[in-house]
Amino acid sequence: MNAVNLKQLALELNLSVSTVSRALRDSWEISTPTKQRVFDLAKKMNFQPNPYASSLRKHRSRTIAVVLPEVANNFFALAIKGIETVAREKGYHVLIYLTNEEAAEEMAIASSLQSGRVDGVILSLCGSTKETRHLLELQQRNIPLVFFDRVCEELTAPKVMTNDYESGFIATEHLIKAGCRRVAHLTISMSLSISHRRQEGYVDALRRWELPCDPSLVVHCPREEEESYRMIRELFSSSFRPDGVFASVEKLAVQVYHVCRELGLRIPEDVKVISFSNLVTASLLEPSLTTIAQPAYDMGKEAATMLFRRLEKKYIVVPDDQVMLPARLEVRNSTRAV
């Protein structure tokens, strides 16, 4: 294999290897005349990029990005710890980017990551993402992408998930077995597959127990806290209010507690509450909160492990791995039968 390499091109052009390399990637850092010179010679000498060299070059940042909707949430805080544990072993830095649940932010971040400032990306989708072109583009630039929790079902990429459907079913059934007959479901963005799966589990558990599925008991809470609080308050102010509630994220359960205090409703006597949550204070609340706890730390570790597997053996095709880590029901006083 006497192929032309970057070094020969650079020598011939009297440029540094890194300049030639950047010119070939059409980097904005290189002037147009220089790029033209590089392109012309590369064509003339029939230069083919060496994937191994390219891999080395791309691995130089020794940094991975973690793109998240928020950090004020115990699930994400724990997942970050899991990711960092693995990254540290590998000698990598971790950068955290927050989308604040805004698709425009997610797109801007994905676009800035295309420049190669990180070697790989671990992402949990924001609630308003409707299209996935920005994520596809990352993959096309050979920047490995791994999803966790809020995965993108349409995209071929490694994914780390929880058994959201089963957990939604188990949570709802747990309330029914504790005596609830009007079970509400509080959820967030329906753009997210996790919201769908959890809600499907809820609906199927009601069916399984032959309870009616009342659409007015399913509340899609917006991101704005005041508005979300107002909607939950309205739900519980109704004369035909729920006697049980399954919250799909912990901040909604916290709002339910506050609403119940305000309205003088007792938990679990008047309303039973269960929530997806990794709240560190769940067992200290009055009453202690029954949770569906995701293995957040392990999910972070698994996502990072999958990413490094791709970074380290980049040119061996990695299948579309999917790892499903089960959540755990932790029964506490907020769902006690009375």
The contact set with its own copies (CB under 8 A) reads 10, 14-19, 29-31, 34, 63, 70-72, 74, 76-78, 80-81, 84, 93-98, 100, 108-109, 112, 117, 251, 254, 257-258, 279-281, 283-288
In the complex with its own copies, which residue's Cβ is closer, 42 or 206? 42
Determine phi and psi for 38, rounding to 5 degrees. Answer: -65, -50
Shortest distance, CB of residue 334 to its own copies, whole angstroms? 11
Beta-carbon contacts of 288 under 8 Å, excluding residues fewer than 6 positions away, are 282, 332, 333, 334
Shortest distance, CB of residue 210 to its own copies, whole angstroms? 35
> Pairing relation of β-strands 290-293 and 328-330?
antiparallel
In the complex with its own copies, which residue's Cβ is closer, 32 or 239? 32
Shortest distance, CB of residue 240 to its own copies, whole angstroms? 26
> Residue 297 in contact with residue 79, Cβ under 8 Å?
yes
In the complex with its own copies, which residue's Cβ is closer, 79 or 170? 79
Please give the structure tokens belonging to residue 165.
């459907």
In the complex with its own copies, which residue's Cβ is closer, 33 or 319? 33
| Amino acid code (one letter) for 228 | S
Shortest distance, CB of residue 267 to its own copies, whole angstroms? 10
In the complex with its own copies, which residue's Cβ is closer, 284 or 316? 284
In the complex with its own copies, which residue's Cβ is closer, 102 or 137? 102
d(CA 106, CA 29): 24
In the complex with its own copies, which residue's Cβ is closer, 28 or 240? 28
d(CA 320, CA 45): 37
For the chain, the straight-line distance linking the first and the last C-alpha, in angstroms and rounded, comes to 78
Shortest distance, CB of residue 18 to its own copies, whole angstroms? 5
d(CA 255, CA 221): 11
| Amino acid code (one letter) for 304 | A
Shortest distance, CB of residue 106 to its own copies, whole angstroms? 12
Shortest distance, CB of residue 96 to its own copies, whole angstroms? 4
> Pairing relation of β-strands 93-98 and 159-162?
unpaired
Q: Check the CA dihedral 207-209-214-217 and report its sign.
A: negative
